[in-house]
Chain A
């Protein structure tokens, strides 16, 4: 039973970071109804950002995370203006493919520059043992950082003018425009925030897992699952969705082979889409 408890703690800590990654996806979905298929590669870029800053410049990875966040925001706005803006009102297929083409471009250039070889940020904050539980410093920090980021995002969305604009655009873009909200800028900002969250999640993951340029794909799929669990478009739901997924990943291996984890995850994903597409925490439409 001890190891069940230990696994739940492991899952919870990781779940916070999953939550941040999914928050990026779900924010973009909520504001502009776009599924960002470049989500995975952006997470991978976040990982490489920290890696380059840490191994190249020798800067503490947590300072690296802040730098990555800024770069992620700018990159996201750039992607919005180049690839998304023109098709923002087109059918879903267009935005899916537009973001997917960004995916191909990032992966293509990334493989050419970094190759697909694994990287490792050799940085450790040690660990702490409490009875059966071993807490890893880097994961605890990542979980705390995720909570702070979530708090920050909420403060931004609810306390600042830009944040209110974002919520207004998410609610009803036409009405917001009539009210004088500069919708294009706000959409670009939202897209930027989404990619910022994705790249920060990648940066945090890089402090405890090795990775390659292709590593983002797994987290992209997890983000879909989490986004749906928590209700697409609902950032706080994404955090809870992340925790649920983390705990499931912790619990399932204790009573069945670990390889069944993805089977159950995706079956659950499809089921939730069918039964409760607004997510566990979403309000009934």
Chain B
């Protein structure tokens, strides 16, 4: 009996030791990965430069920490990586230029702290809490995708950290009473409405439209809004149907579309299903005049589909060809800020082995720019001052017009930015090239209509 009690004691002690060891090790990895997880080696170089500068009282230098999670693994990996590349490029540009200089001579530089969210919501809140409390991030950027962003927004709001969202288009996250969250993207509700306008301008007689979409959060929100808009414009929605996100064979679905004989098909979902769908529409020789898909067409990789890509239209948050300039800002009566579109493209390609930036990359860069401009206008790194500037922000970037809803019902929702629509066309030498076809004022080519 005595023996078993001694044994219990020993065990308890061992357990205690184990737990304290856990506690200790829990804190170490928390701090360790911060610099290590930083994907841009360039910025950490600037962090080290901070110390000698701080010793000099002449110009005070502060380094702000920008925190976010990235989907280094899992199904959002590709888009998320592009987004993070864009953001890191922004950070590098600012730091290489010597940082931001405020009126009192303070130099502001940036460093990133990031973790892998595995494209899963499970740990998003844990990681954002870590970013907010342990890594003391000053400002947050959203993860990629609406679902992950919704989970992160709870944490941003809780700690009163400003979070610029990019790659998170669903409207619903901005209608939950948050005050710290600002959206860089055009929201889902306005993703496809422009395509309806484009169709109207092309062919007033084409009245039969089919909405076919991936049954997921983002695409369903998009097509529901677009359907309402199309019906308002007098369109006859002959088919409104989702497909499962796991769908690989669209054969039966396409047969059903063919049976409904629409003039136009609008919908899609993400890259994988969208490109599969486009390929099978082409293989089946479906006779449709107007074909618009979400997400997939603007991606440079969409050209891999060859003929199947020809004539496909897609809404894009940003295009290299969409030339927003200081002049266009003047015309619209807006402030211009940041680099020109082609400056961004060439820097991006130089930084990432010639990889062509997609709108996810531009979104990441723009999120950084928004923050940068807000800090400059606030002339302070104080989050509340920055927050106040964001409330009234109204400016033009290479990414487009940025203005946030400030009503309590939809605080932070993007109301300035709008989509451009691209179409894959033959460039005359047999190669595929993206052209901007809508809005009219930014168009680089006429729409190929009907779709070949």
Q: Which residues of A contact B (CB under 8 A)?
A: 2-4, 6-7, 10-11, 14, 111, 115-118, 120, 122, 124, 127, 129, 134, 136, 205, 208-210, 212, 214-215, 217-218, 249-254, 257-259, 261-262
Give the contacting residue for B305; candidates A115, A120, A205, A253; CB below 8 A: A120
- Is B284 a contact of A14 with CB atoms below 8 Å? no
- Is A3 a contact of B279 with CB atoms below 8 Å? no
Query: A134-B285, A258-B247 known; A210 and B252 CB under 8 Å?
Result: no
Q: Which residues of A contact B215 (CB under 8 A)?
A: 259
The yes or no answer to B275 lying at the interface (CB within 8 A) is yes
A-B contacts, 20 of them at CB < 8 A, read A3-B255, A3-B256, A6-B255, A10-B251, A11-B251, A11-B252, A111-B73, A116-B77, A118-B271, A120-B304, A124-B283, A136-B283, A209-B249, A217-B246, A218-B248, A250-B252, A257-B242, A258-B241, A258-B242, A258-B253
Give the contacting residue for A120; candidates B75, B251, B279; CB below 8 A: B279
- In the bound complex, CA of A13 to CA of B221 (Å): 34
Q: What 5 additional pairs, Cβ within 8 angstroms, besides A217-B246, A253-B255?
A: A6-B255, A111-B73, A117-B78, A134-B283, A254-B255
- Is B301 a contact of A117 with CB atoms below 8 Å? yes
- In the bound complex, CA of A136 to CA of B78 (Å): 30
Q: Separation in Å of the A126 CB from the closest CB of chain B?
A: 9
- Is A250 a contact of B272 with CB atoms below 8 Å? no
Q: Separation in Å of the B123 CB from the closest CB of chain A?
A: 17
- Is A3 a contact of B258 with CB atoms below 8 Å? yes
Query: A115-B77, A262-B246 known; A209 and B253 CB under 8 Å?
Result: no
- Is B253 a contact of A134 with CB atoms below 8 Å? no
The yes or no answer to B232 lying at the interface (CB within 8 A) is no
CB nearest neighbor in A for B80: A116
- Is B276 a contact of A7 with CB atoms below 8 Å? no
Give the contacting residue for B249; candidates A14, A116, A117, A122; CB below 8 A: A14
Q: Which residues of B contact A (CB under 8 A)?
A: 73-78, 81, 215, 241-244, 246-249, 251-253, 255-256, 258-259, 271-272, 275-276, 279, 283-285, 301, 304-306
Q: Which residues of A contact B255 (CB under 8 A)?
A: 3-4, 6-7, 10, 253-254
Q: Separation in Å of the A20 CB from the closest CB of chain B?
A: 15
Query: A115-B78, A117-B301, A118-B301 known; A14 and B251 CB under 8 Å?
Result: yes
- Is B275 a contact of A115 with CB atoms below 8 Å? no
Q: Which residues of A contact B256 (CB under 8 A)?
A: 3, 7, 253-254, 258
Q: Which residues of B contact A262 (CB under 8 A)?
A: 244, 246
Q: Which residues of A contact B81 (CB under 8 A)?
A: 115
- Is B243 a contact of A259 with CB atoms below 8 Å? yes
CB nearest neighbor in B for A252: B252
- Is A127 a contact of B276 with CB atoms below 8 Å? no
Q: Which residues of B contact A122 (CB under 8 A)?
A: 304-306
- In the bound complex, CA of A251 to CA of B256 (Å): 10
- Is B301 a contact of A10 with CB atoms below 8 Å? no
Q: Which residues of B contact A3 (CB under 8 A)?
A: 255-256, 258-259
- In the bound complex, CA of A115 to CA of B81 (Å): 10
Q: Which residues of B contact A261 (CB under 8 A)?
A: 244
- In the bound complex, CA of A258 to CA of B242 (Å): 7
Q: Which residues of A contact B304 (CB under 8 A)?
A: 120, 122
Q: Separation in Å of the B288 CB from the closest CB of chain A?
A: 14
Q: Separation in Å of the A5 CB from the closest CB of chain B?
A: 9
- In the bound complex, CA of A111 to CA of B74 (Å): 8
- Is A253 a contact of B275 with CB atoms below 8 Å? no
- Is B252 a contact of A10 with CB atoms below 8 Å? yes
Query: A3-B259, A249-B249 known; A210 and B279 CB under 8 Å?
Result: yes
Q: Which residues of A contact B75 (CB under 8 A)?
A: 116, 212, 214
- Is A129 a contact of B285 with CB atoms below 8 Å? yes
- In the bound complex, CA of A134 to CA of B255 (Å): 10
| 5 closest A-B pairs by CB | A10-B251, A116-B77, A7-B252, A3-B255, A117-B78
- In the bound complex, CA of A117 to CA of B304 (Å): 13
- In the bound complex, CA of A251 to CA of B242 (Å): 16
- Is A210 a contact of B272 with CB atoms below 8 Å? yes
Q: Separation in Å of the A125 CB from the closest CB of chain B?
A: 10
- In the bound complex, CA of A73 to CA of B241 (Å): 42
Q: Separation in Å of the A255 CB from the closest CB of chain B?
A: 10
Q: Separation in Å of the A215 CB from the closest CB of chain B?
A: 7
- In the bound complex, CA of A2 to CA of B242 (Å): 22
Query: A3-B258, A116-B73, A253-B253 known; A218 and B283 CB under 8 Å?
Result: no
- Is B74 a contact of A116 with CB atoms below 8 Å? yes
- In the bound complex, CA of A2 to CA of B78 (Å): 40
- In the bound complex, CA of A214 to CA of B120 (Å): 14
Q: Which residues of A contact B241 (CB under 8 A)?
A: 257-259
Q: Separation in Å of the B80 CB from the closest CB of chain A?
A: 10
- In the bound complex, CA of A6 to CA of B77 (Å): 36
Q: Which residues of A contact B271 (CB under 8 A)?
A: 118
A129, A136, A208, A209: which has the most chain B beta carbons within 10 Å?
A209
- In the bound complex, CA of A258 to CA of B248 (Å): 12
- Is B275 a contact of A210 with CB atoms below 8 Å? yes
Q: Which residues of B contact A127 (CB under 8 A)?
A: 283-285
Q: Separation in Å of the A139 CB from the closest CB of chain B?
A: 9
Q: Which residues of B contact A250 (CB under 8 A)?
A: 251-252
- In the bound complex, CA of A118 to CA of B301 (Å): 9
Q: Which residues of A contact B306 (CB under 8 A)?
A: 122
Q: Separation in Å of the B103 CB from the closest CB of chain A?
A: 44
- In the bound complex, CA of A116 to CA of B241 (Å): 27
B74, B242, B284, B305: which has the most chain A beta carbons within 10 Å?
B284
- Is B284 a contact of A134 with CB atoms below 8 Å? yes
B251, B253, B256, B272: which has the most chain A beta carbons within 10 Å?
B251
- Is A210 a contact of B283 with CB atoms below 8 Å? no
